[in-house]
């Protein structure tokens, strides 16, 4: 059994594969102050609650965009699972040509998404990861990782409105009932929702224009915790795959065994 761990800035998402089947997936808060022992207990308890035993896990792969946690989690899996983890980074086989000026700068999560996205859906492909930051990755028809864009996530924008204004409140991130809000909360929710839907579609159009591709020929995949909410009204997003990163980790693991 393979445990795939994706460490994001806000959440750690992990899934358990039995062969090719994803038999469970969970999400816990990312906490850079937690120790290896604390994370070990969290992982072990979640598995135990779901009638799974950590002793059955013989392989672990980790992708992380939080460098301070790499040693913590690496030590955790060695102590609690008695496994040497495969960590996404230089030297790991992905099967994808990374055409960044410096390929080492590309976030591990972006590479993992690109591998799974291209192998599942083909190209030309845009992958939008709706996380703490929103990333757009463009993969060509040949399967080359060409690059992308990074912008602040929805929660960052909502928090900035709350912190940098005197009277605007924190709001729940939801799709509003109407575009024109009738209260301050509704107005903020509408601005965030429709603003980001507009950003998503505009960026897709600009990528298509820049790459000289008809938008109808593009496959556009959205993933991440807020993928479904923020892309259901997009003109171009045609696939929502919330567990794309976990599947990408499984595919990369298979290439390296």
- The dihedral region occupied by 21, where left means phi > 0, alpha psi between -120 and 50, and beta the remainder, is beta
6, 109, 129, 201: which one is catalytic? 109
Element (H, E) at 229: helix 227-231
Query: Does the annotation count 109 as an active-site position?
Result: yes
The whole-angstrom distance between residue 126's C-alpha and the CA centroid of its chain comes to: 14
Q: Is 133 helix (H, G, I), strand (E, B) or coil?
A: strand
CB 2 within 8 Å of CB 16: yes
Q: 29, 31, 6: which is closest to 16 by C-alpha?
A: 6
In this structure, the number of other CB atoms found within 10 A of the CB of residue 171 comes to 18
Residue 200 burial class via C-beta count within 10 angstroms: exposed 0-12, middle 13-18, buried 19 and up: buried
Q: 97, 81, 124: which is closest to 217 by C-alpha?
A: 124
Tokens of 62: 């980790």
* Positions marked catalytic: 109
């Amino acid at each position: 059994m393979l445990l795939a761990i994706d460490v994001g800035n806000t959440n750690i998402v992990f899934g358990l594969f039995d062969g090719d089947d994803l038999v469970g997936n969970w999400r816990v808060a990312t906490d850079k102050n937690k120790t290896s022992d604390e994370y070990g207990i969290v992982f072990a308890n979640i598995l135990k609650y779901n009638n799974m035993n950590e002793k059955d896990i013989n392989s672990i792969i980790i992708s992380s965009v939080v460098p301070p946690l790499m040693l913590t989690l690496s030590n955790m899996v060695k102590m609690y699972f008695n496994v040497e983890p495969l960590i996404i980074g230089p030297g790991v086989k992905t099967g994808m040509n990374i055409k960044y000026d410096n390929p080492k700068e590309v976030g591990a999560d972006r590479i993992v998404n690109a591998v799974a996205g291209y192998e599942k859906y083909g190209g030309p492909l845009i992958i939008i990861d709706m996380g703490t930051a929103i990333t757009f990755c463009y993969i060509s028809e040949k399967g080359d990782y060409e690059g992308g864009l990074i912008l602040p996530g929805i929660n960052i924008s909502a928090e900035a409105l709350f912190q940098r204004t005197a009277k605007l409140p924190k709001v729940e991130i939801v799709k509003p009932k109407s575009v024109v809000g009738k209260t301050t909360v509704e107005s903020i929710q509408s601005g965030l929702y429709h603003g980001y839907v507009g950003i998503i579609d505009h960026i897709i159009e600009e990528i298509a224009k820049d790459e000289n591709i008809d938008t109808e020929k593009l496959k556009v995949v959205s993933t991440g915790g807020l993928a479904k909410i923020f892309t259901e009204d997009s003109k171009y997003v045609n696939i929502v795959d919330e567990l794309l990163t976990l599947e990408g980790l499984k595919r990369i693991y298979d290439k390296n065994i």
